[in-house]
Amino acid sequence: MRIAVPFIPVFFVALFIAYPGLGEPRPRTRSTDWIAEMRNGAWLDQTGRYAEAEPVFAAIAPMLQDTTSLPADDPIRAELANDLAAHAHRLGRYEEAESLYLQAIGIWRKAEGEDARRNRALAIGNLAALDRARGKFAEAESLYREELDTLEQVGARQTGSYVIALNNFAELQRSQGNLRQAEALARQAVAASGQLPKGSAEDAGVAAHTLGVVLKSEGKLEEADRVMRNVLEGWRQSATPNRIRVAVALGNLADIRCAEGRCEEAVALSRESLAIRREVLGATHPDVAINLNNLGFIQRKLKDYAAAETSFLDAIRVGETSMGKTHPELANFMANLGMLEAERGRLPAAEQWLTRAMSILEQDFGPSDTRTLLVRLQLAQVYQAAGRYTAAERIYRTALPLLSDSCLARDARVQQARGNYERLLAAIHGKSKRG
């Protein structure tokens, strides 16, 4: 029985975590030394140097418990909690990040002044991004709305923070399949970015970039290509080019070109993105792993299976080094490799990789999370292809109803699985009749 293999790439949609106070001068106080270390840790995080940031944050984390030199309601304590949360967030330590974000928000809720309200809004947006990553979409949407409302109340509509908040809200809608809402929010972000002060061209490009990703998801490939190409050209021609943003745009333009059937061009774009990331971030950065995964996806589309296998294996190797062996992103790489092996007819290897991916997702999100269920469906496809009908039927029977009640009910992967389940039941019924 032939199985269909839906490969879904990881989009290079940047995770925008806000660090209130980063780079802002403060009077020299009794806490100058550790504040400087805190800002240094946040800078290391923002530049992707997580391993270097870890000992910095570990050394200053005890300040959260020191109420003698740092009062419990001191706003700088909230800044520290937010930065520690952002670090844990990036490393996939979600429960720790949630507790710290809530601590930061609680302190800023008690503080007075527009700066405190603005910082609280940014921390709320960070918590929303965390909930989005954990699949808690309803909670994330409520938080994003609160962030936007608060920024409007403090007169921050014409700031980069407001544009990024709209941008992240659009990505939340896209990730749920609410593409009309996502496009409307992305276009609103683009319009808002046009009101930013001169010199904010790169920040303005962030909104257009997300619009390009949304348009691609909607199948509006010609417009998506044009928008992403313009973003790429704008970021390249900036007076002070941010090479990482250039790499992000290259990666997403590669995905669009592949969807247009121009996969040879996509390989070249993806390799250019990969080269920039390796040069700027180092060979073992998490974004290098994501780039390798997406390159493998394009190579699979070209049926260059050996090259795709190498890219997926390299993504897993780099991911294990930079993210740890239980990070949820790693599960995506393993699932993609597993389905590549299934397409090549190497079913035992496919089962091994998918089982490992499912184990990570179950540990991080639980057995009923949509990401876990999608990998279970992929494993069912492998069982079905191997003739292990009972095992496949059990997964389809339990997983499909849960996904049908989720935001992924109309997702192409779920629809494909339903078709496979119907064929499986027909095959089982036919076999019983012949018996």
Average pLDDT over all residues of the chain: 86
Do residues 140 and 15 both lie within one domain? yes
SS3 content of the chain, % helix, strand, coil (to 5): 75, 0, 25
Closest-CA residue to 336 (of 322, 318, 321, 356) = 356
Do residues 10 and 52 both lie within one domain? yes
Do residues 276 and 402 both lie within one domain? no
Is the pLDDT assigned to residue 68 strictly greater than 60? yes
Do residues 277 and 361 both lie within one domain? no
Cα 362 to Cα 353: distance, rounded to the nearest angstrom: 14
**pTM attached to this predicted model:** 0.80
Is the pLDDT assigned to residue 434 strictly greater than 70? no
Do residues 5 and 152 both lie within one domain? yes
Cα 66 to Cα 189: distance, rounded to the nearest angstrom: 41
Domain boundary among 156, 189, 218: 156
Domain CATH number, residue 134: 1.25.40.10
Which pLDDT tens digit goes with each residue over 121-158?
A: 999 999 999 888 777 888 999 999 999 999 999 998 88
Q: Is residue 14 part of a domain?
A: yes
In this structure, of 197-206, 338-347, 351-360, 388-397, the range with the lowest mean pLDDT score is 197-206
Q: Is residue 54 part of a domain?
A: yes
Domain boundary among 297, 324, 351: 324
Which pLDDT tens digit goes with each residue over 320-344?
A: 988 888 888 899 999 999 999 999 9
Q: Is residue 170 part of a domain?
A: no
Do residues 350 and 387 both lie within one domain? yes
Is the pLDDT assigned to residue 120 strictly greater than 80? yes
More confident residue, 241 or 267: 267
Instruction: Note down the domain range covering 96.
Output: 1-24+32-156
pLDDT of residue 48: 65
**What is the pLDDT confidence band of residue 12, given thresholds at 50, 70 and 90?**
very low
More confident residue, 201 or 245: 245
Domain boundary among 269, 300, 324: 324
Q: Is residue 285 part of a domain?
A: yes
Do residues 73 and 107 both lie within one domain? yes
Is the pLDDT assigned to residue 4 strictly greater than 70? no
Q: Is residue 224 part of a domain?
A: no
pLDDT of residue 2: 37
Cα 248 to Cα 245: distance, rounded to the nearest angstrom: 5
- Looking at the 3D structure of the chain, how many domains does it have? 3
